[in-house]
A = this chain, B = another copy of it.
Amino acid sequence: MDKILRIDMGAKGGPKVSEGPLGDYAGLGGRAMTSSVVSKEVPPLCHALGAENKLVIAPGMLTGSAAVISGRLSVGCKSPLTGTIKEANSGGQGGIALARHGYAAVILEGKPSTDDLYKIYISKKGVKISVDNSLKMLPNYDLVNKMKAEYGDKIVCISIGPAGEMKLGAASVAVTDMETRPSRHAGRGGVGAVMGAKGVKVIVIDTADSKIRQPKDAEKFKEANRKFTEGLRSHAVTGQALPKFGTNVLTNILCEAGGYPTYNFKEGSYKDGAKISGETFAEIETKRGGKATHGCHTGCVIQCSGTYVDKDGNFISKQPEYETVWAHGGNCGISDPDTLAKLDFLDDNYGVDTIEMGVTIGVAMEAGLLPFGDGEGALKLVEEVGKGTPLGRILGSGAEVTGKAFGVERVPVVKGQALPAYDPRTVQGIGVTYATSTMGADHTAGYAVATNILKVGGFVDPLKPEGQVELSRNLQIATAAIDSTGMCLFIAFAVLDQPETFQALVDMINAFYGLSLTGDDVTALGKKVLSMERDFNARAGFSAKHDRLPRFFSTEKLPPHNLTWTMKDEELDQVYNW
């Protein structure tokens, strides 16, 4: 990982490929890399779909090495959805494949002057970029099949669906998993629209002759990796709950806690929650011959993914994540697992963020476009996005635009990005993260649910404002660092609870790079990343006034706890005051 690949899509005479050393970006990975490049090279007031924006695709610091669960791939740019800086990261094989070809980052720059669609082929022999208009408007699954037919099975694809080509705000960047399915997504913030604006449909990475990255100190690395693995396996969340039921283990827990946003954030517990719980999904998967325990990339030791099949054993989608099941499910009053799996597939296939899409359909239901609970109607709406009809373009632009087009007041977004699956009124720590994150509403930016609900890393009462700012602050700092390592964020459960597991992670980085970092250095890295992002956002016009939740959270009580959002603005403004 000693080089950066830059492709100027706007060069005269066609795209220009150049490779160079890391320079100022040496030692950076994942979110630290994407946010550094965007912060330094992208004018904050540029149009997100314009030539001045850049799409930065970067494996984490440890990605491509033997470190377990280190395969995350960060995708960064100025977001067309939020207008802020954006990093969305994904599982799948993309990070590993790029890292093992030596790329610390692929940066797509400029803007083509024609409507041609390009594919980029990266192999041991170098980079080849070519026009392929036969790929236009192909859904991700069809696209990947076509690429396999063309380049063989040993490939990894990083691609966009029709939504990305249409440059819609909910468009994701898809990354193929171990089965070469485009099931993992850098979902949030419309990163797929920026890839679409660059005219790039797919980056195909041929994994032949790529090499595992070697640590500086192999012995120490191996030992740290072993301890780290042990730590993950011994923690109740990562060792038991996640492998058994996947992320969707949260449905029952959040319904129980009254923090599960239902019917577009009108209630805090879904009466049919059990019908769409992780337990139910795992049971269906096991019974039908799908998989309930599976990894999304090689080297995963948590195995929270799975495969969802129909009654005849045919693939419907990957095991839908908790956020997806919530967004399309409880949030829309839809309780049929098959329907939810189909929605998950459609989202992946057309290339849209499942959170944004589900919340958007909830807003459409609020507008009266279809009733809450109408699963068939929801499927049709996502089909509209794939077809690019006017209605599909509204929905594919996300919840905020949909709210504008249909005159809806209750639109759960912060900085234009849809709120995830935890109601801020009853999981108040995550409310602080939603409001203040540099990314718009984003649960992964500082997952206070861990401490508010799961009692990981201590306990802060989710129903009270006290202590939430400090909790969110510390988690946002830690997350910015973890997102830079290439590690799956789910390591945080064990790392927060078990000091020796955290130490093993630090040891692993030190052994890999020949460094002697301490825990404080990790904190410093997180703060540095956040500060860069915050600075970009300030230059883009964001201020404390944008670190707020929509007003209806302050005025409407959420059953069953009947609480409103009462966090004081002055307290929110202390999140970045460290």
A: which residues have CB within 8 A of B?
A: 43-47, 49-50, 52, 80, 111, 166-169, 193, 196-197, 389-391, 393-394, 397, 401, 404-409, 411, 539-543, 545-546, 548, 550-552
Contacts and interface: CB of A to CB of B under 8 A. Distances in A.
B409 A47 contact: yes
B404 A551 contact: no
A49 B397 contact: no
A188 B107 CA distance: 41
Nearest to A389: B390
A197 B407 contact: yes
Contacts of A542: 541
Contacts of A196: 407
B390 A548 contact: no
A189 B5 CA distance: 45
Nearest to A406: B393
A391 B546 CA distance: 30
A404 B394 CA distance: 9
A386 to B, nearest CB: 15
Q: Which 7 pairs show the lowest CB-CB distances between chains A and B?
A: A167-B407, A541-B545, A390-B391, A390-B390, A393-B405, A49-B409, A47-B409
A43 B167 CA distance: 34
B540 A545 contact: yes
Contacts of A546: 541
B168 A407 contact: yes
Nearest to A46: B551
Contacts of A552: 47, 50
A407 B551 contact: no
A87 to B, nearest CB: 21
Given A545-B541, A546-B541, A397 B405 contact: yes
Contacts of A52: 551
Contacts of A539: 545
A401 B405 contact: yes
Contacts of A43: 551
A47 B550 contact: yes
B50 A407 contact: no
27 contacts: A43-B551, A44-B545, A45-B548, A45-B551, A46-B551, A47-B411, A47-B551, A47-B552, A49-B407, A49-B409, A50-B409, A50-B551, A50-B552, A52-B551, A166-B406, A168-B405, A168-B407, A196-B407, A197-B407, A197-B409, A390-B391, A390-B405, A393-B405, A394-B394, A401-B404, A541-B545, A543-B543
A240 to B, nearest CB: 43
A407 B193 contact: yes
A552 to B, nearest CB: 7
A274 B383 CA distance: 47
Contacts of A197: 407, 409
Nearest to A45: B548
A535 to B, nearest CB: 13
Nearest to A190: B404
Nearest to A43: B551
A340 to B, nearest CB: 25
Contacts of A548: 45
Interface centre among A389, A390, A394, A552 (most CB of B within 10 A): A390
A542 B389 CA distance: 34
Nearest to A44: B545
A552 B540 CA distance: 16
Nearest to A111: B409
A47 B540 CA distance: 22
Given A45-B545, A197-B409, A540-B545, A397 B404 contact: yes
A76 B389 CA distance: 35
A411 to B, nearest CB: 8
A410 B84 CA distance: 19
Contacts of A406: 166, 393
A344 to B, nearest CB: 24
Given A390-B405, A539-B545, 9 more contacts: A43-B551, A45-B551, A47-B551, A166-B406, A390-B390, A393-B405, A397-B405, A401-B401, A541-B545
Contacts of A411: 47
A551 B409 CA distance: 30
A377 to B, nearest CB: 14
Contacts of A45: 545, 548, 551
A539 B52 CA distance: 30
Nearest to A539: B545
A369 to B, nearest CB: 9
Contacts of A168: 404-405, 407
Nearest to A193: B407
A316 to B, nearest CB: 28
Identify which of A391, A409, A550 gathers the most chain B CB atoms within 10 Å of its CB.
A409
Nearest to A395: B390
A389 B369 CA distance: 12
A543 B45 CA distance: 13
A561 to B, nearest CB: 23
A352 B70 CA distance: 53
A557 to B, nearest CB: 15
Contacts of A193: 407
A409 B539 CA distance: 20
Given A197-B409, A551-B45, A393 B394 contact: yes
Query: Could you say which of A193, A411, A539, A545 has the most chain B C-beta atoms within 10 Å of its C-beta?
Result: A545
A409 B406 CA distance: 23
